[in-house]
Amino acid sequence: QQQKIYNFSAGPCILPQEVLKQAQDEMMNWHGSGVSVMEMSHRSKEFISIAEQAEKDFRELLNVPKNYQVFFFQGGASMQFSAIPYNILGDKTKVNYITTGSWSEQAQKEAKKLAQTVEAWQDHASKFTTVPNPETWNIDKECAYFHYCDNETIHGVEFNDFPFEKVEGMTLVSDMSSNIGTRPIDWEKYGVVYAGAQKNLGPAGVCIVVVREDLIGKQRPDTPILFDWKVFRDAPTKFHNTPACYPIYVTGLNLAHMKSQGLQHYQDLANKRASALYDYIDASEGYYTNPVEPKYRSRTNIPFRVKKDEKLETKFLAEAQKVGLIELKGHRSVGGCRASCYNAMPFEGVEALIEFMKKFREENP
Ligand code: PMP
C-alpha cells in the first residue's frame, strides 16, 4: 500500500480524495454522454449545465447576493491585477492600495501602469509581519477603489478584522485567493472579490471573480477584450471565448462537495488546524518560529523557521518528505518552511505534521 501523503503545497494544492475519485469515474464518459468533459464543446448543453451548476454551488456555499456576477476567468488572479483597473478606474485617475505582502505589492504594480496609486501603508520595516493600525492608513476617498489582499500567501498575513468603516463609500476590492471558502464574506462591503481557484476551490486554470453588477460597464475603451467583464457578462453563457472547461468542471465537483459539508465546517477546520500548529510553534521554545503578529497570523499559510538555520531546514524538509509530508518549503523569496492548509487539508494532516516536528526537534536538539 502506498504511503499516506499530506500535501502542504501553497497551490496548486490538495483536493479531496472523493472529488478526485469522482473525476476519475466520470473521466471517459460523463453522465452517459459518451464523451469526457475534456472533449465537450463549451457551447454544448452538457458543459453549460456543468458551468451553471458550479456557479450555483459557489453562490450557495458563499451566499453570494443576486446583484453580483460570478465569472470563471482564465489568466489567474494575476490577470485580474490588470483587469481590475481597466474595468473600474472609470473617469478617476487614482487608486488606493495597501501593501501587506508580495501579492498586494504585485497587484499595485500592475495598477500603476494605468493609474496613480496611493499607498495606504507600506510595511518595509516589519518585512510584512503585521498590519498597521488602520488609524494611520493613508486613505484617499477620491480614488476609484481601495484594494487589499485578504490573505498574503507568502508572508502568512491575514486580515482578521478588516476595518470596513475606514473605506466606507469607496469601492472595496479584495484578493481572496488563499483564504476563500474558510469563512463567510460580507458581500455588501465589497465591489469585487477575486480568487484563483487552485488553493481552496479546485485545480489551476480558473479564477473566480465576483463583481457587483453596477461596476460592470465602466471599462476603459482600450480594455483588452479578455479583461473586459462586460464582454463576458453579455456573452451567451458568460464565456466570450473557450473557457478552461475541465478545471471549471473539477472546481464544480469540489464546490458541490464543499456545499455538502457547509461553510461552517471549513471555518471550524481552518481555525482548528491553525490553532494547533501555531500553539505548537509557540510552545517550542524558539526551536520553531513564526514572525507574524498573532492577530494577523494566516489560518491557511503558516510560514515557520527551524532554529533559523537553513541547513537544519534543508534536513527538515527532506525528512518530512520521506514520511509523506510534502511541499513544506517556504516561498523562494522568503525561504524557511511554510505549511499551507487549505480547505481540503484534513486535521490529521496537521496532527501528522506536529508529530513530525516534535520528533525532529528531539532528534536535532
Ligand atoms: N494572489 C494571491 C494571494 C496568491 O496567493 C496568488 C498565487 N499564489 C496570486 C494572487 C496569483 O495567482 P495566479 O497564479 O492565479 O495568477
Q: What share of the chain is helix, strand, coil (3-state, %, to 5)?
A: 40, 15, 40
ipTM (interface predicted TM): 0.99
Check residue 70 and give its pLDDT: 98
Average of per-residue pLDDT values in the chain: 97
Residue nearest to atom 15 of ligand 1 (CA): 76
Instruction: Say whether both 184 and 325 belong to one domain.
Output: no
225 close to 219: Cβ distance less than 8 angstroms: no
Domain CATH number, residue 338: 3.90.1150.10
190: in domain: yes
CA 78 to ligand 1: nearest atom: 16
Question: How many other CB atoms sit within 10 Å of the CB of residue 307?
Answer: 17
Burial of 1 (0-12, 13-18, 19+ CB in 10 A): exposed
| pLDDT category of residue 68 using cuts at 50, 70 and 90 | very high
23: in domain: no
Instruction: Say whether both 255 and 266 belong to one domain.
Output: no
Q: Which three cell numbers stand for residue 52?
A: 451553471
Q: Which amino acid is at 181?
A: G
Instruction: Say whether both 72 and 162 belong to one domain.
Output: yes
How much is the pTM?
0.98
Instruction: Say whether both 227 and 300 belong to one domain.
Output: no
Q: Which of 13, 80, 177, 207 to mutate to test the pocket of ligand 1 (most atoms within 8 A of CB)?
A: 177
Q: How many domains does the chain have?
A: 2
12: in domain: yes
Instruction: Say whether both 88 and 114 belong to one domain.
Output: yes
* Catalytic residue annotation: 103, 175, 199
Check residue 127 and give its pLDDT: 84
Q: Report the C-alpha gap between 344 and 347 in whole angstroms.
A: 9
Instruction: Say whether both 70 and 207 belong to one domain.
Output: yes
Q: Of 220, 243, 261, which closes a domain?
A: 261
**Which among 218, 141, 149 has a CA at the least distance from the CA of 177?**
149
Q: How far is the CA of 364 from the centre of ligand 1 (A)?
A: 35
Does the pLDDT at position 147 exceed 90? yes
Instruction: Say whether both 266 and 337 belong to one domain.
Output: yes
Instruction: Say whether both 243 and 282 belong to one domain.
Output: no
The residues facing 297 across adjacent strands are 157
Instruction: Say whether both 187 and 334 belong to one domain.
Output: no
Q: Look up the domain containing 111 and give its range.
A: 28-261
| pLDDT category of residue 233 using cuts at 50, 70 and 90 | very high
Q: What is the pLDDT of residues 176-207, one digit of tens each?
A: 999 999 999 999 999 999 999 999 999 999 99
